[in-house]
């Protein structure tokens, strides 16, 4: 990074203004009415909850288009939906996709289908249908999104609220996942092409590193329930500020997973500040759970591939108030 703050690239500079996006979302919710649930909408169907989540792949599709490789974006589409259900304490059951294109193409449609099938297999859900819309006057290229339905017993839903004294357990991400790609793409293509050789190990090209599929966390649901998780956070859009969805506390993260090399490359190429990186990307940790009991938290980490990454403090016990403290930053 350079020392000139004027040269720092931000998510807003790249074209995505989080505050404006949140304002537009709030306006939409005000118009249609709020619903029960945070990461997923919950519908009381008697003895259980029916849960629904919807999400898409976003501008990661532009990287796939540049490389002519759509084989993994279907996994991302599944992951972004099922992970939100898991954060609510819901078992994902079935998925439908929505593919909007400017013109039909058998090759990329087959690749997307293979990715959706692979993601569904990883998540242990059923693909039950979808829609392909050909709209050349509306869409340039393609867009891929979907919706996932899940079921949960009423006592299986996470409370969704952390408490001071809770222990935070985290799980590694696979990379950038499917959030912040507009910033990542803008930063990495200022002086490079997606097809350029990757400067760090594990990938042949820069584009391949950006296309690393989003990790699916459905395997965590059973052990999280067994170890008394109060609430969970899918570290997606907004980065580490997603922890604040668990309540207005101070989340002290003192041992996060290391950020993958892709994040270092994005930060270096775009001269992106540490704070901007942590409020845009997962920075190596893709999923976090709050557990009331220290021993249960340690057992949960040991039973999975997670680890204890921090704890929750009362906001009035911390000089910075409510928010997240991580890697020397107060977000």
Cite the residue boundaries of each domain of the chain with CATH code 3.90.650.10.
167-330
The closest alpha carbon to 63, from 175, 173, 189, 174, belongs to 189
C-beta neighbour count of 275 within 10 angstroms: 16
Q: What is the pLDDT of residues 255-313, one digit of tens each?
A: 999 999 999 999 999 999 999 999 999 999 999 999 999 999 999 999 999 999 999 99
Cα→Cα distances 331→122, 156, 241, 271, Å: 33, 31, 7, 19
C-beta neighbour count of 242 within 10 angstroms: 23
Q: Please list the residues that pair with 285 across neighbouring strands.
A: 172
Q: Please list the residues that pair with 48 across neighbouring strands.
A: 153
Q: Are 63 and 183 in contact (CB under 8 A)?
A: no
In whole angstroms, what is the distance from residue 174 CA to residue 215 CA? 6
Q: Please list the residues that pair with 312 across neighbouring strands.
A: 251
Homologous superfamily (CATH) of 35-153 is PurM-like, N-terminal domain (3.30.1330.10)
> For position 19, what pLDDT does the model report?
64
* Conformational region of residue 260, where left means phi above 0, alpha means psi within -120 to 50, and beta covers everything else: beta
> For position 11, what pLDDT does the model report?
63
> For position 168, what pLDDT does the model report?
98
Q: Consecutive sets of 10 residues in the chain, 331 residues long: mean pLDDT of each?
A: 60 63 48 58 93 95 96 97 97 97 91 97 96 92 95 92 97 96 95 96 96 98 96 95 96 97 97 96 98 97 98 85 92 94
C-beta neighbour count of 147 within 10 angstroms: 15
Both structure tokens of 255:
């041992």
- CATH hierarchy code of domain 167-330: 3.90.650.10
Both structure tokens of 112:
């997307």
> For position 2, what pLDDT does the model report?
41
Cite the residue boundaries of each domain of the chain with CATH code 3.30.1330.10.
35-153
Which pTM value belongs to this model? 0.90
Pairing of strands 126-134, 91-101: parallel
Q: Please identify which residue in the block is written with the tokens 């938290």.
A: 297
> For position 14, what pLDDT does the model report?
65
Pairing of strands 285-291, 229-234: antiparallel
> For position 29, what pLDDT does the model report?
43
Q: Are 77 and 119 in contact (CB under 8 A)?
A: yes
Q: Please identify which residue in the block is written with the tokens 């969970």.
A: 232
3-state secondary structure of 92: strand
> For position 37, what pLDDT does the model report?
53
């Amino acid at each position: 990074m350079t020392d000139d703050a004027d040269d720092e690239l931000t998510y807003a500079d790249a074209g995505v203004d989080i505050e404006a996006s949140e304002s537009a979302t709030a306006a939409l919710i005000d118009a249609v009415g709020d619903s029960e649930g945070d990461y997923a909408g919950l519908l009381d169907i008697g003895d259980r909850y029916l849960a629904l989540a919807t999400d898409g792949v976003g501008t990661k599709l532009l990287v796939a288009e540049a490389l002519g490789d759509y084989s993994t974006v279907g996994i991302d589409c599944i992951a972004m939906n099922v992970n939100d259900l898991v954060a609510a304490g819901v078992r994902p059951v079935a998925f439908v996709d929505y593919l909007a294109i400017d013109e039909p193409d058998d090759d990329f449609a087959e690749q997307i289908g293979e990715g959706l099938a692979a993601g569904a297999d990883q998540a242990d859900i059923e693909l039950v249908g979808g829609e392909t819309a050909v709209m050349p006057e509306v869409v340039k290229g393609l867009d891929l999104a979907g919706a996932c339905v899940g079921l949960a017993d009423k006592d299986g839903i996470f409370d969704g609220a952390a408490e001071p004294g809770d222990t935070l357990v985290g799980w590694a991400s696979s990379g950038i996942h499917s959030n912040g790609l507009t910033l990542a793409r803008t930063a990495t293509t200022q002086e490079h092409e997606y097809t350029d050789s990757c400067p760090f190990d594990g990938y042949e090209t820069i584009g391949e590193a950006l296309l690393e599929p989003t990790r699916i966390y459905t395997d965590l649901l059973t052990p999280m329930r067994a170890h008394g998780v109060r609430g969970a956070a899918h570290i997606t859009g907004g980065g580490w500020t997603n922890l604040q969805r668990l309540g207005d506390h101070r989340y002290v993260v003192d041992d996060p997973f290391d950020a993958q090399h892709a994040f270092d490359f994005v930060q270096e190429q775009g001269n992106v500040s540490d704070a901007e990186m942590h409020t845009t990307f997962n920075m190596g940790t893709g999923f976090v759970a709050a557990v009331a009991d220290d021993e249960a938290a340690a057992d949960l980490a040991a039973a999975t591939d997670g680890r204890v990454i921090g704890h929750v403090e009362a906001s009035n016990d911390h000089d910075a108030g409510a928010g997240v403290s991580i890697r020397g930053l107060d977000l």
